[in-house]
């Protein structure tokens, strides 16, 4: 019944996830017996197969910390200066709570003006130099603040920093929670600090919120107990200097970011990274064909990123006439990568859990997501109100807007003066925290694996390879039938 993957994907058609459907197999285990543990690259194990895209509206330190806390990983974008990107990496490495605020820090001689107008600001901190990396002297809590103090120096009325105000930056959520509960005084925040100075301010309210989400495991940790984090770079000479800063900041894996990775530039960069930083995993791409993959594997990549034009904000296929349907691309690349033990990242085109199941079963070890994670609490940027909906910006890194900030490397081979957009700018509705919706999504993925009789990614790949799993292509009518249909209206809630 149905087709084996080998036959289905060798008929001259380019299929994407929605085109194909698996036939159910046999269930002999409960959903909770499904393990989604996997590898991002040769030496980076993950407990969930989720990676956040290196895009400036998706992954900075807050998203990367949250992805690591979930057991996945975030790849920090490089549409910024090398030192700012390295600061994002340090910020992830310096904390063990998936929370982040930007504390307001002043010197003792400064005066508060309108900082407390923002209701989200719990306190103002006072350090010797007015910068985070200097001695903490005191603080002013929101409850201490009144307009009359506006003209006075902070040193005249701040409260001195006491021992219970500060906790080590490597406290996890549960330790921080019990510390906040034990605080003698009525203070609803604590300062995370390390030897170098202040790391962040965390409020009781934020901790309570995260505690209400599905319980977090131990997350994705490096050998020193810090959260793992990746970073994207390009393939120019200047990226070698950028990489040096990132390595100093503690980056665990580097992604060479290109929409067409099969190039001499990338092959040389892979060799350079492996030669210069043998301990660092390097992920190459993007690729969509077997021969592109073989070239990068021969150059020594530890992981391959697959997808060209499949992203929700991509226009590469329309602009350049190049690309491949994502289901075919993942299957084809994974079939060669698996022979060399190189994990595959299915990048782009994920809108719901069923597509994650398809990507993983077709051979990917992880999925990389942009749009799916954009609009969340952890995505960079502010929410704005658009036609009555709270939204955050989500934009392609090849959009003119992003390229004008510097991301043109990924889409232009040289310093071309004429910029051609390969992506668009849009917005995503407020989806809440990834700490809440990703665990639900993973539970849905486990149910898909159970229907297929696969209790792990390894067993799914085996079932596919042995042709035990059967697939079919869906007609347009079958795709409509498989979605919600024939209702006057309906309310969609994904979990
Ligand atoms: P999703 O579907 O998850 O896709 O939103 C995210 C992936 O899309 C890629 N990307 C782009 N591709 N033009 C493109 O052709 C762009 O401007 C662009 N920006 C991001 C990238 O691989 C990302 O992970």
Q: How far is the CA of 219 from the centre of ligand 1 (A)?
A: 26
Distance 368 CA to ligand 1 centre (A): 10
Question: Mean of the pLDDT values across residues 419-431?
Answer: 90
In angstroms, what is the span from residue 55 Cα to ligand 1's centroid?
8
Regarding the beta carbon of 369 and ligand 1, being less than 6 Å apart is answered: yes
| pLDDT band with cut points at 50, 70 and 90 for residue 187 | confident
Q: Annotated binding residues for K(+), as ranges?
A: 309, 311, 314
Task: Tell me: pLDDT of 82 over 90.
Answer: yes
Residues making up the annotated binding site for IMP are 312, 347-349, 370-371, 394-398, 422
The predicted structure's pLDDT at residue 109: 94
389-395 and 471-473: which strand pairing? Answer: unpaired
Q: Is the pLDDT of residue 162 over 90?
A: no
- pLDDT-derived band of residue 415, with 50, 70 and 90 as boundaries? low
Cβ atoms within 10 A of the Cβ of 440, count? Answer: 14
Q: How far, in Å, is the centroid of ligand 1 from the Cα of 206?
A: 31
Q: How many whole angstroms separate alpha carbon 134 and alpha carbon 268? A: 41
If you take atom 12 of ligand 1, which residue's CA is the nearest one?
A: 314
462 token code pair = 């085996």
pLDDT by residue (tens digit) across 93-140?
Answer: 999 999 999 899 999 999 988 888 888 899 999 999 999 888 899 999
Higher pLDDT, 150 or 191: 191
Least confident of 207-211, 216-220, 286-290, 487-491: 487-491
> Does 76 score more than 60 pLDDT?
yes
What is the pLDDT averaged over residues 328-345?
98
**Annotation: binding site:** 257-259, 307-309, 311-312, 314, 347-349, 370-371, 394-398, 422
pLDDT tens, residue by residue, 475-490: 999 999 888 888 877 7
Q: Which residue has the higher pLDDT, 242 or 401?
A: 242
Q: Does 368 sit in the ligand 1 pocket, CB within 6 Å? A: yes
Please indicate whether residue 17, judged by its CB atom, sits closer than 6 Å to ligand 1: no
Inform me whether the pLDDT recorded for 414 exceeds 60. no
Which residue's C-alpha comes closest to atom 14 of ligand 1?
Answer: 314
Does ligand 1 lie within 6 Å of residue 57's CB atom? no
Contact 375 CB / ligand 1 (< 6 Å): no
- The closest-lying atom of ligand 1 relative to the alpha carbon of residue 370 is 3
Query: Residue 53 CA: which ligand 1 atom is closest?
Result: 24
Position 181 pLDDT exceeds 70: yes
Order of strands, sheet of 384-386, starting from the edge strand that comes earlier in the sequence:
384-386, 389-395, 425-429
Q: How confident is the model at residue 45 (pLDDT cuts 50, 70, 90)?
A: very high
370 lines ligand 1 (CB under 6 A): yes
Are the C-beta atoms of residues 201 and 140 closer than 8 Å to each other?
A: no
Per residue in 371-409, pLDDT (tens digit) is: 999 999 999 999 999 999 999 999 999 898 898 876 666
Tell me, what's the pLDDT at 406? Answer: 67
The residue whose CA is least distant from atom 15 of ligand 1 is 314
Least confident of 157-166, 333-342, 415-424, 429-438: 415-424
- 16-42 in b/e form (b: 16+ CB < 10 A) is bbbbbbbeebeeeeeeeebebebbbbb
Cα of 494 from ligand 1 centre, angstroms: 23
Q: What pLDDT does residue 489 have?
A: 77
Residue 494: the pLDDT is 56
Does the pLDDT at position 147 exceed 90?
Answer: no
Atom of ligand 1 nearest to the CA of 424: 17
* Interface predicted TM-score (ipTM) of this complex, two decimals: 0.98
**CA–centroid distance, residue 396 to ligand 1 (Å):** 6
Task: For ligand 1, say whether the CB of 255 is within 6 Å of any of its atoms.
Answer: no
- Give residue 408's pLDDT: 64
Report percent pLDDT > 70 for the chain: 96
| pLDDT digits 0-9 by tens, 357-371 | 999 999 999 999 999
Query: pLDDT averaged over the chain?
Result: 93
Report how far residue 63's alpha carbon sits from residue 99's, in angstroms, rounded to the nearest whole number: 9
Provide, rounded to the nearest whole percent, the portion of the chain with pLDDT above 90. 79
User: Is the CB of 347 inside a 6 Å radius of any atom of ligand 1?
Assistant: yes
- Name the more confident of 342 and 216: 342
Average pLDDT in the 25-46 region? 97
**Cα–ligand 1 centroid distance for 132 (angstroms):** 34
Q: Which residues are annotated as a binding site for NAD(+)?
A: 257-259, 307-309
What spacing in Å lies between the alpha carbon of 259 and ligand 1's midpoint?
9
Q: From the CA of 399, give the closest atom in ligand 1.
A: 17
pLDDT of 136 reads 92
Locus of tokens 């709570």: 97
Residue 318 confidence class, pLDDT cut points 50, 70, 90: confident
Atom of ligand 1 nearest to the CA of 307: 22
257 lines ligand 1 (CB under 6 A): no
Pocket test for ligand 1, best of 52, 287, 370 (most atoms within 8 A of CB): 370
Ligand 1 contact via 284 beta carbon (within 6 Å): no
Q: Which residues are catalytic?
A: 314, 410
Confidence at residue 420, expressed as pLDDT on a 0 to 100 scale: 82
pLDDT of residue 146: 85
The pLDDT value given to residue 404: 81
Cβ(422) – ligand 1 distance below 6 Å: yes
């Amino acid at each position: 019944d149905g087709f084996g993957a080998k036959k289905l994907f060798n008929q001259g058609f380019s299929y994407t996830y929605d085109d194909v459907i698996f036939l159910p197999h046999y269930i002999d285990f409960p959903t909770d017996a499904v393990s989604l543990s996997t590898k991002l690259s040769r030496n980076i194990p993950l407990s969930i197969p989720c990676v956040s895209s290196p895009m400036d509206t998706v992954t900075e330190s807050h998203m990367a910390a949250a992805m690591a806390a979930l057991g996945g990983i975030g790849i920090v974008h490089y549409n910024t200066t090398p030192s700012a990107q390295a600061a994002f990496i340090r910020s992830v490495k310096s904390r063990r709570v998936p929370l982040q605020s930007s504390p307001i820090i002043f010197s003792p001689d400064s005066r508060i003006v309108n900082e407390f107008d923002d209701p989200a600001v719990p306190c103002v901190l006072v350090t010797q130099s007015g910068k985070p990396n200097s001695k903490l002297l005191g603080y002013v809590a929101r409850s201490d603040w009144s307009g009359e103090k506006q003209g006075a120096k902070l040193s005249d009325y701040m409260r001195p920093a006491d021992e219970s105000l500060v906790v080590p930056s490597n406290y996890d959520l549960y330790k921080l929670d019990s510390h906040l509960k034990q605080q003698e005084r009525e203070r609803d925040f604590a300062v995370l600090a390390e030897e170098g100075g202040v790391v962040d301010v965390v409020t009781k309210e934020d901790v309570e919120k995260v505690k209400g989400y599905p319980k977090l495991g131990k997350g994705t940790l490096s050998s020193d107990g810090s959260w793992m984090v990746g970073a994207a770079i390009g393939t120019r000479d200047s990226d070698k200097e950028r990489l040096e800063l990132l390595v100093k900041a503690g980056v665990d894996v580097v992604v060479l970011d290109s929409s067409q990775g099969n190039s001499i530039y990338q092959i040389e960069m892979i060799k350079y990274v492996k030669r210069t930083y043998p301990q660092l995993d390097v992920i190459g791409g993007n690729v969509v064909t077997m021969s592109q993959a073989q070239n990068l594997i021969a150059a020594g990549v530890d992981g391959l990123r697959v997808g060209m034009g499949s992203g929700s904000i991509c226009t590469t296929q329309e602009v350049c006439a190049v690309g491949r349907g994502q289901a075919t691309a993942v299957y084809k690349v994974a079939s060669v990568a698996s022979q060399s033990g190189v994990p595959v990242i299915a990048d782009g085109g994920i809108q719901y859990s069923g597509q994650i199941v398809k990507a993983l079963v077709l051979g990917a070890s992880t999925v990389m997501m942009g749009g799916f994670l954009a609009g969340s609490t952890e995505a960079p940027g502010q929410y704005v109100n658009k036609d009555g909906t709270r939204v955050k910006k989500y934009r392609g890194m090849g959009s003119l807007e992003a390229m004008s900030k510097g991301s043109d490397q990924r889409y232009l081979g040289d310093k071309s003066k004429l910029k051609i957009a390969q992506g668009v700018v849009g917005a995503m509705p407020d989806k809440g925290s990834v700490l809440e919706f990703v665990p639900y999504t993973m539970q849905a993925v486990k149910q898909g694996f159970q229907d297929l009789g696969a209790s792990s990614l390894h067993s799914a790949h085996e079932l596919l390879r042995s042709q035990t799993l059967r697939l079919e292509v869906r007609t347009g009518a079958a795709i409509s039938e498989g979605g919600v249909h024939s209702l006057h209206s309906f309310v969609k809630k994904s979990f």
